[in-house]
């Protein structure tokens, strides 16, 4: 049952990604990525987690676009999948990507350019550090 639900989640995610990219002509969804989909066991509901590349106002525009276009997206999905029920789509903004970018920026502020930091770490471990030359 777990494998079946994983396949259904993956299929719905793949189809929704294609629908948003190719079939829905809405500029507010231009920079939206579907991160994951969780379909309920009875196939009645699907939570669609998405991210948006952009600022806060673009995130709000994407939310509005999903509210207005959710029915059309579901109808297109119904024509592409063969399920007993086509799930009701619940779109939820996923902050994890934005949070990871913010963490990365904070680390860069603390450590500077991360590749340089890693290079400094590798020199210490290779024995080329000033302490190893003494």
Per domain, the residue ranges of the chain are 2-94, 96-127
Model pLDDT for residues 25-58, shown as the tens digit of each residue: 899 999 999 999 999 999 999 999 999 988 889 9
CATH topology of domain 2-94: GMP Synthetase; Chain A, domain 3 (3.30.300)
Confidence of residue 78 (pLDDT cuts 50, 70, 90): very high
Model pLDDT for residues 65-76, shown as the tens digit of each residue: 999 999 999 999
User: What pLDDT, on the 0 to 100 scale, is given for residue 121?
Assistant: 53
Alpha helix ranges (H) inside 1-134: 2-18, 56-80, 96-111, 114-126
3-state SS assignment for residue 85: coil
């Amino acid at each position: 049952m777990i494998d079946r639900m994983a396949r259904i989640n993956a299929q719905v995610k793949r189809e929704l990604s294609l629908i948003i990219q190719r079939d829905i002509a809405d500029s507010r969804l231009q920079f939206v990525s579907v991160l994951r989909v969780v379909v309920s066991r009875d196939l009645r509901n699907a939570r669609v987690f998405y991210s948006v590349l952009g600022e806060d106002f673009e995130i709000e525009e994407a939310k509005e676009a999903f509210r207005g276009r959710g029915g059309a997206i579901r109808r297109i999905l119904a024509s592409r999948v063969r399920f007993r029920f086509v799930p009701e789509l619940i779109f939820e903004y996923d902050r994890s990507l934005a949070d990871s970018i913010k963490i990365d920026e904070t680390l860069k502020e603390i450590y500077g350019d991360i590749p340089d930091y890693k290079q400094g770490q590798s020199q210490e471990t290779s024995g080329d550090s000033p302490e190893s030359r003494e």
